[in-house]
Structure 1
Amino acid sequence: MNVLDLAYADDLAIMSESTTELEEFIQDFETITQKCGLTMNVKKTLIMSVKQLQQDATGRIIKGQMVNQLDFNMKIRNEKDKHTESFIYLGCCITADQTMEKKIGIRISKASPPFYMLKYCVWHRKTVSYDAKLRIFRACVVPILLYGSEVWALTNIQERRLNSFYMKCLRTIIGANLEDRLSNAKMLELTGQPQIRCYLEKE
C-alpha cells in the first residue's frame, strides 16, 4: 500500500470492495501511520456496508430487494468494529441505503438555526432594506441549505421539500402570511429570487 499524503489525516473515508481488502488496508494503515507518530482513534472508527438493490437478468432494479450484505466481523486492536447506517464526512451525510431523505433533513436542520437567529435583527427589522435582506439570505442561508448539492440526485418529492423551506424563508423575509394566499410564483416575482431548481442545476 502506498500512502501519498498524511498531512490531513484527521477525517478519512476508506472505500473497499471486500472485507479482506479492508482488513489488509487497516493493518497496513496502522503500521504506516504509527511510524509517522499518528494513531487511529478506534472509538471514532465506523464501518458501513453500502446497500445494493437486486437486479434482474436485464439489469433492471428490482424494487425492495437488496443484495446480501457483507458480514463484517472485524477487530481493530482487539476491539470489535462499530457498524453504522450513516455517518457525516466533511459536512455531508453518507447513508448505507444511498437515499437523499436523511441528507435533505440534515441540510434543512443546519440552515434553520442561522435563518431564525436573524429573524428579529434582520428579517423583521424595518430599517434593513429588502434588497439587503435577500443578499444576506443568499450569502448566509442558501449555501448551508445546498451544501454538497453538486452530487445530489433528487426526486420531485425531495426537491419540493427543499423548496418548501426555501419559500417559507422568503415569506418570512418579506413579512407575508399564509392568509395572504400568495403563490410560490408570485413570491418569487415579488422577491426577484430564482427557483430552488435554478440553484440545484447551477450546482
Structure 2
Amino acid sequence: ITELLLADDRALLAHTEKALQHIINRFSDAAKNFGLNISLKKTEVSYQPPPRVAYSPPHVSIDRTNLNAVEHFAYLGSVISNDATVSKDLDNRLSKASSSFGRLSKRVWQSHSLRLSTKIQVYRVVVVPTLLYGAETWVLYRKQIRLLERFHQRCLRSILGIKWQDHVSNEEVLKRASLPSIESILLQVQLRWACHLTRMEDVRLLKPVLQRAPRGES
C-alpha cells in the first residue's frame, strides 16, 4: 500500500480491493480528526486488471457511499488509464497543445513584427512542452509517434508559411525551423528523466517502484 501526496490531491494505491478499502478508511478517519471533508463527487476509483483477466468494476466506499468507478481519470495534468496505455493521455496532450497553438495564432504566428526565429522559439518553449507534458514515462507505439510528428509538422509548416502544394519534405521543414523531430525531443526528455531517476536516493518511493522487476522475473 502506498500513497502519493501533492498539495490537496492524493492518490492512494493498493494491490487489492480489500487493501484499498482499508487505506481509504484510515485516510477518511484521519481527515475527520482534522475537521476535513473528503469530496465524494471528486473521489474516483480505478482498477487495473492483470493481463488476461476480465475487468470488473471495484466496489470501494466512504461512509457507506460507493465511490465512482472509472476507466481513466486526470491526475496532476495527466490522464491515467486502467489499461496501462497512454492513448487517453496522448489525446489529451494533443488537444491541449492544439489549443495552445491556436491561441497564439494572431499574436505570434501571423504577426509581421516578429522574426521567424522568435516564433520558432515561442513554439519550442510553449507548445512543445504542452504537447510532451508527462512524456517522461510514456511508452509509445510507432503509430502514436507518427501522430505526434504529424502535429509537429503541421505546426511548423503553419509557422513557416509552407503549403502542401509546395512539396516540401518533412526533413526540409525541420531544417528550416532548426528543430529536431518530436521523437528526438521525446528521447532527450526521457533520457534526462532516467538520469535524474538514477541519481535519486534509494529511499525515494519512485525509484524502487520503477526499478522493480515484474513478478516472476529477476
TM-score range, shorter chain: 0.7 to 0.9
TM-score by length of 1: 0.87
Question: 70-79 vs 125-134, which deviates more?
Answer: 70-79
CA–CA distance in structure 2, aligned partners of residues 18 and 195 of structure 1: 42
Choose the corresponding residue for 2:170, options 173, 184, 188. 184
Flag the 1:91–1:71 CA change in 2: closer, same or farther, 3 A.
closer
- The answer to whether the aligner puts 1:35 opposite 2:27 as a matched pair is no
Query: What residue in structure 1 maps to residue 197 of structure 2?
Result: none
Q: Equivalent residues in 2 for 1:101-180 (5 A)? A: 101-180=87-166
CA–CA distance in structure 2, aligned partners of residues 84 and 102 of structure 1: 13
SS of the equivalent of 1:14 reads strand
- Displacement of 1:75 after TM fit? 2.5
Query: What residue in structure 2 maps to residue 199 of structure 1?
Result: 185
Partner letter of residue 24 of structure 1?
H
Percentage of pairs with the same residue: 32
Q: Which runs of 5+ in 1 are unaligned?
A: 54-65
Q: Does the CA-based 8 Å contact 1:51-1:98 persist in structure 2?
A: no
Q: Does the CA-based 8 Å contact 1:149-1:200 persist in structure 2?
A: yes
CA–CA distance in structure 2, aligned partners of residues 74 and 33 of structure 1: 17
- Displacement of 1:73 after TM fit? 2.6
Choose the corresponding residue for 1:91, options 74, 77, 89. 77
Give per-residue Cα distances to partners, 1:113-170, cap 9 Å, x unaligned.
1211111221111221010000110111111000000001111100000110011000
Choose the corresponding residue for 2:46, options 45, 48, 52. 48
Query: What residue in structure 1 maps to residue 200 of structure 2?
Result: none
Choose the corresponding residue for 1:77, options 48, 63, 72. 63
CA–CA distance in structure 2, aligned partners of residues 2 and 47 of structure 1: 15
Give per-residue Cα distances to partners, 1:11-43, cap 9 Å, x unaligned.
111111111111111111111121122221111
Flag the 1:2–1:106 CA change in 2: closer, same or farther, 3 A.
closer
SS of the equivalent of 1:13 reads strand
CA–CA distance in structure 2, aligned partners of residues 128 and 34 of structure 1: 56
SS of the equivalent of 1:131 reads helix
Q: Which runs of 5+ in 2 are unaligned?
A: 190-218
Q: How many residues align?
A: 189
